[in-house]
Each structure stands twice: as structure tokens, then as C-alpha cells.
Amino acid sequence: MVLRKVIGTFCPMRQQGEKLRVSIEDITVSYNDLGSEDSPVILFIHGFPLNKSMWEGQLLAFQKTHRVIAYDVRGHGQTESGTGPFSIDLFVTDLLQLMDALKIEKATLCGLSMGGYIALNAIQSHPERFSALILCDTQCGADTPEGKEKRMKAIESLKKESIETYAEGSLPNLFAEESLKSRKEVVEAVRQMIITTREESLSKTLMTLAERKETCTRLKDINVPVLIVVGEQDTITPMDAAQLMHFKLLDSKLAAIPNAGHLSSLENLQAFNEVVREFLSSTDSIGQLSD
Ligand code: MLT
């Protein structure tokens, strides 16, 4: 009841389209919001250091059956950074405030990699707000000491080297070898997403990822259907990490995407959308608040 009253005050009418903006606590969030108001909602959360445009192929495919929303995480794409440090908890607070501002009581969350970290933390702290999860190329583990060390080195390098250099170093890890050769336009789109991210946001997010806590021990408490998707050639969050989540979750399906590395939704759009479509059709999603 309280939620209805508050959101009714701030957002009397839904805006629909692309590059929309909404103010939450201390920042303005940029988002795309397509599909019918009455359809079940899917919220897409991008990976690092990308932005909402990575979900274009999913928004196009699923807007016929769902209300589909992709937003830029704080400091990425067109969403403001605010002034303080980032944290996964802050990203989760932003997500919940975005849902309130858009009058979404309950949604399916689809997160890739960092988006998956946010999704897992969000459902663990606010289970009542989510009806299903799609975890793509992500993991429940925290960074190893070596992983943290690598992030610290990357933060140091970003002070000395250009973001273009950072992007060149990242691309071979994000894509399957074959995609790097044959999917030049997708690789270029991702390069653009990286080089247009502000250096300060890259560093703050690298620190956030290094400091994030594991979510594996609480996977057993998630009681909504979960689809785990992993690119067969993902080396950042490989099949082992996906299988661990699958083993610990009560109700999950695991789908391997051929011809794809860490960015399975981009590298093999067709296969990715197919497994998501199948999952959605088997899932009862609950839509947003009605006035
Ligand atoms: C991502 O794609 O979001 C990143 O690879 C996540 C990470 O580095 O842990």
C-alpha cells in the first residue's frame, strides 16, 4: 500500500521507448522500456564494462510477449555516477528504486556477469520482488586473491594507459576466439561500449567487483525458477561456475550456448534467445502494479 502511494506520486504515467530517463535517489538512470504495459516484466542488467545497448537483440525479440526493460547501471552508459564509491549493495538499491519509480512490483531479472552478481544479491535481499532469474555467464563465487590482484593492476593501468588500451586487452577475454574473427561488428560495438565508459566508473566498478561477496551459500534459499546460460567457450565465468550454481539451486535449468564465449547473448543471439524463450514459456511471471 505504501509503495503504491509513493510511486503514484512520482510516476503517474508510464513512458515507453528508448533512452528514457528517470531520477532515483542521487542519480538519473537511463533505460529502454518496450512492450505492453500489461505483459510480465523482464529487467535486463548488463555486464561490465558494457551498457544497456548489449540487450538490443533481446528487447527486440521479447517485446512482443513481455514488457522489457534494459537500464544502464550507475556510472555506465548514460546513467550518472553520483559522487561516492560504488558497491553491489548500491547497485541493488538503484535497481529497486528503478523498479519503484517504474511501478514494477515484480519482475524476471536477466543479468549477464556483473548483471548476474546484481541479480543474485537483489533476489537474496528482496525475494518478494522477483518471479524468475536468468543468470547469464556469471557466477556465485567472490574474487580469488589472484582475481582481486588483477583488478588492482587494471585500476593502476587505467591511470597510465588509455581506455582504448584497456578495451584492446579486454576483448580477447570477453569473446570466443571464433567470434573475434567472424563477428567483427559485434566486437566493435562492445569496444565502443567499453571506450565510452568513463575511466572513473571503470576504476570504481573494478573495485566493487573485487570487493563483492560470494552468494553461493544462499543459493539454496532462492525459490523461483532459474535459467543458467553459459557460452561454451566462456573463460571468465566458465561452465564449472555455471554447474556449481545449478547444483546449489533448488529449481534451475542449465543451457550451454555453442559458438559463444563470455558474451553469449551477443555472440549467439539466436541460440541464446531460443533457450530464454523456452524458459519464459515454462515460467509464470507476474507483472507490475496496476493503478
Ligand atoms: C562482466 O562481464 O560483467 C565481468 O566480466 C564481471 C567480472 O569481471 O567479474
Distance between CA atoms of residues 155 and 152, nearest Å = 5
Average pLDDT rounded to a whole number, residues 141-161: 97
Give per-residue pLDDT as tens, 179-192: 999 999 999 999 99
Average pLDDT rounded to a whole number, residues 272-284: 93
Spatial CB neighbours of 93, under 8 Å, sequence gap ≥ 6 = 25
Does the pLDDT value for residue 3 go beyond 50?
A: no
Give per-residue pLDDT as tens, 24-52: 999 999 999 999 999 999 999 999 999 99
Instruction: Give the three cell numbers for residue 194.
Output: 567499453
* pLDDT higher at 142 or 287: 142
* Alpha carbon of 104 to ligand 1 centroid (Å): 27
pLDDT of residue 13: 80
Confidence of residue 4 (pLDDT cuts 50, 70, 90): very low
Does the pLDDT value for residue 289 go beyond 90?
A: no
Can you list the pairs that 2-11 forms with residues at least 24 positions away whose Cβ atoms lie under 8 Å? 3/100, 3/105, 3/289, 4/289, 6/100, 7/100, 7/101, 7/103, 7/289, 8/291, 10/101, 11/101, 11/102, 11/103
DSSP H or E segment with residue 188: helix 184-195
Strands 107-112 and 67-71: unpaired
Average pLDDT rounded to a whole number, residues 43-64: 98
pLDDT of residue 88: 98
For a substitution probing ligand 1, which of 237, 262, 264, 266 has the most ligand atoms within 8 Å of its CB? 237
| R_g of the chain, CA atoms, integer Å | 18
DSSP H or E segment with residue 76: none
Does the pLDDT value for residue 9 go beyond 80?
A: no
* Atom nearest to 137 CA in ligand 1: 2
- For atom 4 of ligand 1, which residue has the closest CA? 48
Q: Is 198 left (phi over 0), alpha (psi -120 to 50) or beta?
A: beta
For residue 56, give the nearest of 46, 66, 48, 237 by alpha carbon: 46
Average pLDDT rounded to a whole number, residues 101-106: 97
For a substitution probing ligand 1, which of 114, 144, 214, 264 has the most ligand atoms within 8 Å of its CB? 114
Sign of the dihedral through C-alpha 280, 286, 289, 291: positive
What mean pLDDT, rounded, does the chain reach?
A: 93
Average pLDDT rounded to a whole number, residues 59-70: 97
| 156-177 core/surface letters (b: 16 or more CB in 10 A; e: else) | eebeeeebeebbeebbeebbbe
Enumerate residues lining ligand 1, CB below 6 A: 47-48, 113-114, 209, 236
* pLDDT higher at 287 or 241: 241
* Alpha carbon of 88 to ligand 1 centroid (Å): 13
pLDDT of residue 14: 87
Give per-residue pLDDT as tens, 115-127: 999 999 999 999 9
Give per-residue pLDDT as tens, 66-82: 999 999 999 999 999 99
For a substitution probing ligand 1, which of 194, 207, 209, 230 has the most ligand atoms within 8 Å of its CB? 209
pLDDT of residue 284: 58
Does the pLDDT value for residue 8 go beyond 90?
A: no
pLDDT of residue 97: 98
Give per-residue pLDDT as tens, 189-209: 999 999 999 999 999 999 999
Contact between residue 14 and residue 34 where contact means Cβ atoms under 8 Å apart: no
